[in-house]
A = this chain, B = another copy of it.
Amino acid sequence: MSIDELISRNRSFVAHPGSPTPALRVAVVTCMDCRIDIYRALGLEPGEAHVIRNAGGRARDALRSLLVSQRKLGTREVMLITHTGCGMASFENAEFQEELGTDIDFETFESPEQAAADDAAWLREHPLILEDTTVRAFVYDVKTGAVTEQGGPSD
């Protein structure tokens, strides 16, 4: 069982205790994709940023977490990161809903550039996101590891 292997690897890990408040006041939202080690990719140290991950790195799915992040733990910047080669661009929402018999919106998309830009616009306009929030959209290239900004910063 693969989880046993992960438990075994955890035995040699030692964490450094720290504050739950993200020092950089940033919340990163990105995809669950197995190729993306976001701490390494952004040079993140433990304690610096919230990391929210879901299928596609979508903002609507992250809203509950972002509200907690902003109101309870003081983050004021959101870094949305979709990526090239994302599985969410490889199937149709309606077909998958029919296959499963569910009305869950799987938030598929055609273009990671467009998805990140659309989600950034949606978040900037959301009435519950704090007005002084900076929201910026990026695409991560799974072949190189580079993040490229979509459009300019919001503020």
Which residues on A are within 8 Å of B, measured CB to CB? 1-3, 5-7, 9-15, 17-28, 32-37, 39-44, 46-55, 61-65, 67-69, 71-73, 77, 79, 85, 87-88, 90-91, 96, 99-100, 102, 104-107, 128, 134, 136, 141-147, 149, 153
Bound form: Cα–Cα A61–B61 in Å: 8
User: Are B69 and A55 in touch, CB under 8 angstroms?
Assistant: yes
User: Are B40 and A26 in touch, CB under 8 angstroms?
Assistant: no
8 A-B residue pairs with CB within 8 Å: A10-B42, A13-B146, A33-B50, A34-B50, A51-B53, A67-B106, A73-B87, A100-B128
User: Are A7 and B53 in touch, CB under 8 angstroms?
Assistant: no
Q: Output the nearest chain B residue to A15 by Cβ-Cβ distance.
A: B145
